Amino acid sequence: MFRAISALGLLSAALFISSSQVQAGSKVDWGKINPRLNGATSSGSIKGCLDCHEDYIKSFARTKHAQFYKKKLGKSLLESCESCHGPMSAHVAEPDFAKKGAATVSFKTISPQQKNRICQQCHEKQVTLHWRGSAHEMANVSCDKCHYVMARKSKRQLSINEDSKKACFTCHQDKRARMLRSAHMPLRENKMSCASCHNPHGSLAPNLLIKASLNETCYICHQEKRGPMLWEHAPVREDCSSCHDSHGSNHLSMLKLKQPYLCQTCHSNVFHPSTLFDATELPGGAGTARRDILGKSCLNCHSRIHGSNHPSGVRFTR
């Protein structure tokens, strides 16, 4: 017992130390991103910038980033620009107008990794703590694919669209197709978003889930399925996706297969004859009750399929 507690304490301390070593706000080596910026310094004034970039600057001044830099960090508007585009002295001093663009950092020309490194000056903690090595980073996704900082396009998270799931559907079109099926998560009704289950900035769990496992994520809303139960259905406790397609299905309750075929993928020759039954051959027959029409089939009798607390519910019948 004592050894277990000691081991747990050491593990907690290790996790704390490793997380505390991740520092947000580390400076970017602008010379590595653009060699023209080696030795460059702040231009010191926003007036020259307004000659060419007045629309951009005025739009940016109304954004959350500009307000945060000013109120929390005490930075001027020019310093806010230089936080993402690098020191501007070389850009301002360049006499050839056609070459000015090459004397600064433009997000149109740098790599996804360089873009992310700039954003990680500030955003490398909390929900973005596990970005490095995440599925999205490994796929060369850059922050500006989902977020837009130069103007306010949405009310939350600086999303490129007011409807945040549309940013996800830009790449995950197969999930968009599933959401259009008859049984689906309430994303179409805007009662939840992709971020309700996934952390797009990285996670220690599979599939960028916000909890340690799929079941723990499902239990955020479906707490009545958590248990523990007196009689538990092993596949249910193991993985909700054994029976359900969480992104959408054309079957009742987002089931992967229609009843009774779903149950018979495991229970093909147990307690009932091994013949593959359809709804018409099950006790009661199709059409004799509304629940048969809905395709409940096996669930007509085994209604507590997620687990039962009844003393006589060993077969999940009550």
- Tens of pLDDT, residues 55-91: 888 888 888 888 888 888 888 888 888 889 999 989 9
* pLDDT value at residue 162: 87
Instruction: Please state, in angstroms and rounded to a whole number, the distance separating the CA atoms of residues 131 and 201.
Output: 5
202-218 b/e (C-beta count within 10 Å ≥ 16 → b): bbebeebbeeeebbebb
| Nearest-angstrom CA–CA distance, 272 and 80 | 71
Q: Is a pLDDT exceeding 50 seen at residue 7?
A: no
Separation of alpha carbons 57 and 50, rounded Å: 7
Section 90-119 average pLDDT: 92
What pLDDT sits at residue 44?
Answer: 74
pLDDT mean over 291-304: 71
Please indicate whether residue 201 or residue 62 has the higher confidence score (pLDDT): 201
- What is the arithmetic mean of pLDDT over 305-310? 95
Quote the tokens at residue 294.
Answer: 């809905």
**pLDDT for residue 289:** 43
Over residues 198-213, mean pLDDT: 95
Q: Please name the residues in contact with 269: beta carbons below 8 A apart, sequence gap of 6 or more.
A: none
The answer to whether the beta carbons of residues 250 and 182 sit under 8 Å apart is: yes
* Distance between CA atoms of residues 161 and 147, nearest Å: 8
pTM of the complete model:
0.79
pLDDT at residue 317 in the model: 92
The set of residues, in sequence order, having a beta carbon less than 8 Å from that of 209 and lying 6+ positions away, is: 197, 198, 199, 203, 216, 217
What confidence score (pLDDT) does residue 169 get? 94
SS3 of 206-240: the string is HHHECCCCHHHHHCCCCHHHCCCCCECCHHHHHCH
Give CA separation, 216 vs 52, 206, 236, 241, in Å: 52, 12, 12, 12
Token pair of 42, please? 């702040």
Report residue 267 as tokens.
């229970």
Per residue in 210-269, pLDDT (tens digit) is 999 999 999 999 999 998 999 999 999 999 999 999 999 999 899 999 888 888 888 876
Give percent of the chain with pLDDT exceeding 70.
Answer: 83
44-67: burial string, b at 16+ Cβ within 10 Å, e else: eebeebeeeeeeebeebeebebbe
Q: At residue 301, does pLDDT exceed 80?
A: yes
Q: For residue 41, is it left (φ>0), alpha (ψ between -120 and 50) or beta? A: beta
Do 38 and 134 contact (CB within 8 A), yes or no?
no
Q: For residue 271, what pLDDT band results from cuts at 50, 70 and 90?
A: low
| Gap between the Cα atoms of 301 and 275, Å rounded | 18
pLDDT in tens, 12-66: 444 333 333 333 446 889 999 999 999 889 887 777 788 888 888 888 888 888 8
What percent of the residues of the chain are helix, what percent strand, and what percent coil, each to the nearest 5?
A: 45, 5, 55
Q: Which two tokens stand for residue 248?
A: 């959408």
Q: For residue 44, give Cα distances in angstroms to 81, 84, 90, 91, 107.
A: 12, 16, 12, 12, 22
Question: Which pLDDT belongs to residue 272?
Answer: 67
Q: Is pLDDT at 128 greater than 80 in this prediction? A: yes
Q: What is d(CA 283, CA 298) in angstroms, rounded to the nearest whole number?
A: 9
- Residue 311: asked if its preceding bond is cis (omega within 30°), the reply is no
